[in-house]
Amino acid sequence: MEYILMIIGAVLVNNIILVQFLGICPFLGVSSKVNTALGMGVAVLFVMTLATLVTSTLQMYVLVPLNITYLQTILFILVIASLVQMVEIVLKKMSPSLYKALGVFLPLITTNCAVLGIAIKVTEQPVIASHGFSILDSTLYAVAISIGFIVAIVLFAGLREQLELVEVPKGMKGVPIALLTAGILAMAFMGFSNLV
């Protein structure tokens, strides 16, 4: 039951983008088309899950035992950068169209604060029980948070595609209407706050 509550909480109640405000750059930059947003979401899912798995393992078996936790941030950044490079190489070979559609935003996953934020958060805050996260808990939490990222970015992309079909006042076209829509979407997600 704890895991179900954690997943619901990560996807809907504490959505990484709409509640925690992490990952806003790809949320606003890649969300003009649903296909591109979904591709970015899947790339973030892959990178965030692997990064959290690797960084949690490093934290538990290297940094804490050697008492070098002060190297956490720099080590985590290096791990995330390496994983993004791997994803970029795989996407370039397996899906050139998605690779081109993501463009400059794929390397931005390296600096996506959502990926680094979750990697650090799972090492610092006990969310399940009082003993903190195990490596399995951390990885499951990263998957759930990534699914929340996908839900938010795909919903927002769908709304932005619909906004292209309607008459928007001249002063609100582009970024202003996108920010207003994001704010309304965030308020809609507030409705889930008493769910967990």
Burial of 187: CB neighbours in 10 Å, binned 0-12, 13-18, 19+: exposed
Residue ranges of the domains in the chain?
16-189
Nearby residues of 134 by Cβ (< 8 Å), 6 or more positions away: none
How far is residue 7's CA from residue 103's CA, in Å, rounded to a whole number? 31
Quote the tokens at residue 68. Answer: 């070098």
In angstroms, how far is the first alpha carbon of the chain from the final one? Answer: 11
- Average of per-residue pLDDT across 5-24: 90
Exposure string of 124-140, with b = 16+ CB inside 10 Å and e = fewer, is eeebbeeeebebebbbb
pLDDT at residue 130 above 70?
no
Per-residue model confidence (pLDDT) at position 128:
45
**What percent of the chain clears pLDDT 70, i.e. is strictly above it?**
94
- Each residue's pLDDT tens digit, 90-126: 888 988 887 877 666 677 777 778 899 999 988 876 5
Torsion, Cα 158 29 187 45, to 10 degrees, reads 80
DSSP-derived secondary structure letter, 170: G
Q: What is the per-residue pLDDT for 125?
A: 64
